């Protein structure tokens, strides 16, 4: 069991340009951030970086067999503590007190079916790996400003992070977007997400 103080002050002095994920999960709307401090703690706890962890959480859509097919094809392979640590450190990175974060994890992750946590854990990782999708679109469009520098004025993104499918053989269906459990939505699953940039700490 992780120490509630384990994540205290993580990310408050160290930061990267990670996206801030705001999502409906558990008992309300919460902010999730994984900056360099949280990512280091996450790797210590799980033995993997964010890209490897995302690969462990790939779930095929229900039409392609959902969770059962994902396990057969080797896409869905989270370790025992992957889900709880991703979500717990995401909450702490978003500013939640570590003791409160641990209490939510115990109630809404440890005591609930694991499938309910796939979606939110995947979205937290996607935010730090892919960044804000609105920024990616701005970079590709590169609208000209009045000085002709081609730099767009910064603004917050409002859509959920996009997620690339994992590599797979021709006979293996490819997952589309964030994982889905194929079950009805429950209160403890992530709802609509909104993302925005968090700048570097000074």
Tokens, residue 102: 């641990």
Question: Model confidence over 142-187: pLDDT tens digits?
Answer: 444 443 433 333 333 333 444 444 444 444 455 545 454 444 333 4
The values of phi and psi at residue 197, to 5°, are -75, 145
- Mapped onto helix, strand or coil, the DSSP state of residue 186 is coil
Q: Does 84 score more than 60 pLDDT? A: yes
Give residue 89's pLDDT: 98
pLDDT, average across residues 67-82: 92
pLDDT, average across residues 4-26: 62
What number of H helices and E strands is found in the chain?
Answer: 7, 3
Give residue 189's pLDDT: 41
Of 77, 68, 75, 78, give the one whose Cα is nearest residue 168.
75
pTM confidence score: 0.63
Say what percent of the chain tops pLDDT 70. Answer: 56
Q: Which residues contact 119 (CB under 8 A, 6 or more apart)?
A: 178, 179, 180, 181, 189, 190
């Amino acid at each position: 069991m992780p120490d509630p103080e384990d994540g205290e002050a993580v990310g408050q002095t160290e930061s990267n340009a990670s996206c801030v994920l705001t999502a409906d999960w558990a008992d309300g709307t919460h902010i999730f951030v994984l900056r360099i401090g949280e990512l280091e703690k996450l790797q210590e706890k799980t033995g993997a970086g964010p890209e490897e962890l995302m690969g462990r959480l790939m779930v095929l859509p229900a039409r392609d067999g959902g969770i059962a097919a994902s396990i057969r094809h080797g896409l869905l392979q989270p370790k025992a503590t992957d889900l709880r640590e991703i979500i717990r450190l995401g909450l702490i990175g978003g500013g939640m007190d570590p003791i409160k974060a641990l209490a939510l994890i115990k109630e809404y992750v440890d005591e609930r079916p694991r499938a309910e946590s796939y979606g939110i854990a995947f979205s937290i990782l996607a935010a730090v790996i892919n960044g804000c999708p609105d920024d990616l679109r701005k970079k590709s469009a590169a609208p000209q400003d009045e000085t002709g520098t081609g730099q767009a004025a910064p603004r917050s993104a409002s859509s959920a992070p996009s997620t690339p499918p994992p590599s797979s053989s021709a006979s293996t269906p490819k997952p589309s977007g964030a994982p889905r459990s194929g079950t009805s939505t429950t209160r403890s699953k992530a709802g609509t997400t909104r993302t925005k940039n968090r700048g570097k700490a000074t």
